[in-house]
Structure 1
Amino acid sequence: MDDRRGSVLVLTNLHDVTTDIVLRVLAARRVPVVRLDPGTDLLAEASLSASYGTGGQRGTLRTPSRDLDLTRVRSVWVRRPSAYDGPPGLDEHDRRFAREQAFWGIGGVLASLPHAHYVNHLWNNRAAEYKPAQLAAAQQVGLLVPDTLITHAAQEAREFVACHGSGVVYKPLWNSPYRVAGRPHSVWVREVREQEITEAVAVCPHLFQARVDKAFDVRVTAVGPWLSGVRIDSPDLDWRRRQGLMRCEPVDVPGAIDQSVRAYLAHFRLVYGAFDFAVTHDGTWYFLECNPNGQWAWQPPDVTDAIAQALADQLEKGSAP
């Protein structure tokens, strides 16, 4: 089999405009692409079948426009697929059963395509999304990490804040959907004071982290062997809160950080990673987190184009021969 002649399978939702940037690059290179949102499309006009046995592994994805031989997929780009939700019209228990069967069945098929190159593999993405695992891996590869406490004990949290005179911030451990008065509400990184910490902390684990006296933030985007850094100047502690007020410009990534980033990707077996750093006034880089599937199209146009080209390179090449 020649992997380079196969199709690229892109798993994402209908409204993911970031994907379109890379798809235009692949179209210009005449690389065939099939776009699928398994959580919704397979409840509508698409279908997926796979077989395993003495004849080997086979499978077919059928969409309204084409049939795709799953043994001919050269690459899979796991972008932003919708969650499996189950067919509408079923009662609560049947829908939950259908949803879980889809997650383990469809998800298992799409994660096990022979000869395919994953950017990133679904299971590697998941493993790399746990913030405690991120902090542990960052330390192992030589990155500096701010003092961090994860706890559901209010007294321990208060003592942690009291011990850090430069301030402590709170971060959610996962970007869970949250609503206030019925409206979507984002939980931003924010500074927290000792007297604010109540026994309500016991409801779930909380992440508290020593505040870095930063001069600016840096987003390092890594795609395979390619890497770039962008400096972010923002009036907010969490620059994501009001992106219209931030300023971005390319910045050099120190060699030691470059090496550690590559080691981090290898640790989690990632092809792509979006790393966030806080840089102090004396030039010290502190690792904050790595999103294995982070957004990137908000960066300066030249950087955005370079990321799209690097992603297209990975998807076009497929698996190593």
Structure 2
Amino acid sequence: MILIITNKEDAHPTPVIERLSARGVPVFRLNTEALLTDYDFGWQVDAAGEISFWIRCRLNGLETTGREITALWDRRPEKPEELPYPSTPEIDRHNREEALGFLVFLRYWLKDIPSIGSVVNDRPAASKMLQYATAREVGFKIPRTCFSNSREQFLKLSQECADLILKPIDVCDVWDEKHGVDYVFYAQKTPAASLREVPNEAFSQTVSFVQEYIEKAFELRVTVVGKQVFACKIDSQAQQEETGRIDWRQGYEHGLKQNAFALPDTVSSQCVAFLYRMGLNFGCFDFIVTPSGEYVFLECNPNGQWLWVELSTGLKIADAIADFLSNE
């Protein structure tokens, strides 16, 4: 039995479930926002000290046990939200927090099952500092980078580079509750000299993440599943600056072109080695390929989105995930 832990709105499991079902591999999907409304479950220790876990979906009657779970896809769980019997705000908050505590601890208990996604390793592996250290160890070229709240640090970097790029560290958007607007932070290119005009308060009030701007021929999204590597070429430099040339995520609705790409074996091996050092079986890498043909590592998302790559290029990523989960 394959256990997929995610949420109702997540489209990524669907093609993988289809492929697993076609192979006769049973799948249990746990949509965690409905943990308390759509499922019955129990984890217990009996008088002999034996541990057991079971879960049953109320919607389709499907049931599994801890002993039956052979692989886990810790995909995109959300906090338990739906309640069978709403009460006061205080009681509801307590009940949701208790359900979340159970869910997190259950995922820790399942940590030794072969998995894509890891409640233990994904969050540490998202550290940009750890990523750049690991990237250097496996032989990737990396940009000059600075995390700081010191204006002097950034001015020093600005003396070494013609242009810089400002990026979010961890929070990529701000939700404006009053107006119902989500403000997304995209990477911003700026002339290095312009930082000299920025007052100290702009740096000292938070931590900023700044890198040298790397000139691009094109960009790559490389998805790795186990030892299978899939590369997608992103033609960002055919875009205007505000529609994907600087941050290709802005090009989704502006005709941004993506195609399958033959990645050099050396880079493929480095990607696999990177994930091994991070304790991961899956990752989505972003690279710049420079006009001179250098491959520059930007980041690796340990639980990144990949379905758009498959849909735009035909790369068989869902098949690879099904292969891994079914141990084929």
Tell me the residue number matched to 2:44: 51
Q: In 2, distance between residues paired with 1:303 and 1:81? A: 27
- Structure 2 counterpart of 1:265: 275
Once the two structures are TM-superposed, the CA of residue 162 in structure 1 deviates from its matched residue by 3.5
Where 1:140 maps in the other structure, the secondary structure is helix
CA drift of 1:104 comes to 3.5
Structure 2 counterpart SS, 1:262: helix
Query: Which residue of the partner structure matches residue 172 of structure 1?
Result: 168
- Which stretch of the first structure deviates more once superposed, 281-290 or 245-254? 245-254
Moved more, 187-196 or 129-138: 187-196
In structure 1, the gaps of 5 or more residues are 1-6
Structure 1 partner of 2:326: 316
> How far has the Cα of 1:308 moved from its partner?
0.5
8 Å contact from structure 1 (residues 224, 272) kept in 2: yes
CA distance in 1: counterparts of 2:182 and 2:170, whole angstroms: 15
Residues 86 and 205 of structure 1: CA distance in aligned 2, closer, same or farther (over 3 Å) = farther
- Deviation at 1:97? 4.7
Q: CA deviation at 1:119?
A: 0.7
Q: What's the offset of the Cα at 1:84?
A: 4.3
Matched, 1:240 2:233: no
Secondary structure, aligned partner of 2:307: coil
Range that drifts further, 304-313 or 155-164: 155-164
CA distance in 2, matches of 1:292, 1:124: 9
Query: Is the 1:219–1:277 contact (alpha carbons within 8 Å) kept by the matching residues of 2?
Result: yes
The answer on whether the counterparts of 2:173 and 2:185 sit within 8 Å (CA) in structure 1 is: no
Q: Name the SS of the counterpart of 1:217 in structure 2.
A: strand
Q: Aligned partners of 2:93 and 2:148: how far apart in 1?
A: 31
Higher relative contact order (CA 8 A, sep 6+): 1
In 2, the alpha carbon distance for the partners of 1:224 and 1:72 equals: 22
1:199-210 matches, within 5 Å, as 199-210=201-212
| 1:189, distance to aligned residue in structure 2 (A) | 0.9
CA–CA distance in 1 between the matches of 2:205 and 2:99? 31
TM-score (normalizing by structure 2): 0.86
Residue by residue over 1:269-319, the C-alpha shift from the partner in whole angstroms, topping out at 9 and shown as x without a partner, is 11111000001011101000000111111125485551010000111129x
* TM superposition shift of 1:110: 2.5
Deviations 1:198-257 (A, max 9, x none): 513323221101111111001111111111211110222111112232111122212221
Instruction: Give the 3 Å change call, closer, same or farther, for CA 57–301 of structure 1 in structure 2.
Output: same
Q: Is the alpha carbon distance of 1:202 and 1:33 closer, same or farther for their aligned partners in structure 2, counting shifts above 3 Å?
A: same
Taking only the aligned residue pairs, the percentage that are identical comes to 28
Structure 1 stretches of at least 4 aligned residues deviating more than 6 Å after TM superposition: none
Q: State the Cα distance separating 1:114 from its structure 2 match.
A: 7.9
* Alpha-carbon separation, structure 1, partners of 2:222 and 2:109: 30
Give 1:288's aligned residue.
298
C-alpha distance in structure 2 between counterparts of 1:36 and 1:169, whole Å: 40
The counterpart of 1:76, out of the listed 72, 78, 98, is 72
Structure 1 residues 293 and 55 mapped into 2: Cα distance closer, same or farther (>3 Å)?
same
Q: Is the 8 A contact 1:142 1:260 kept in 2?
A: yes
Alignment partner, residue 242 of structure 2? none
After TM superposition, the structure 1 = structure 2 runs for residues 1-321 of structure 1, keeping only pairs within 5 Å, are: 7-38=1-32, 40-52=33-45, 54-64=48-58, 65-84=61-80, 89-91=87-89, 97-113=94-110, 116-165=113-162, 167-180=163-176, 181-192=179-190, 193-194=194-195, 195-196=197-198, 198-234=200-236, 235=239, 236-244=245-253, 245-299=255-309, 301=311, 303-317=313-327
Structure 2: gaps of 5 or more residues = 240-244
Task: Confirm or deny: 8 A CA contact 1:74 1:115 kept in the other structure.
Answer: no
Range that drifts further, 26-35 or 270-279: 26-35
The Cα of 1:55 is off from its aligned counterpart by 3.4
The answer as to whether partners of 2:260 and 2:315 remain within 8 angstroms in 1 is no
Other-structure match for 1:4: none
How far did residue 49 of structure 1 move?
1.8
Cα distance in structure 2, aligned partners of 1:96 and 1:161: 48
AA in 2 matched with 1:49: G
Deviates more, 1:198-207 or 1:264-273: 198-207
**Cα deviation code 1:122-153 (max 9, x no counterpart):** 21111211121111111111111100000122
Question: Secondary structure at 2:54's aligned position in 1?
Answer: strand
TM-score of the pair, normalised by structure 1: 0.88
Give CA-to-partner distance per residue, 1:171-216, whole Å, 9 cap, x none. Answer: 1111444124441111111113413465133232211011111110
Task: Give the secondary-structure state (helix, strand or coil) at the position aligned to 2:51.
Answer: strand
User: 1:90 Cα shift?
Assistant: 4.2
Q: Residues 160 and 115 of structure 1: is their aligned pair in 2 closer, same or farther, counting only changes over 3 Å?
A: closer
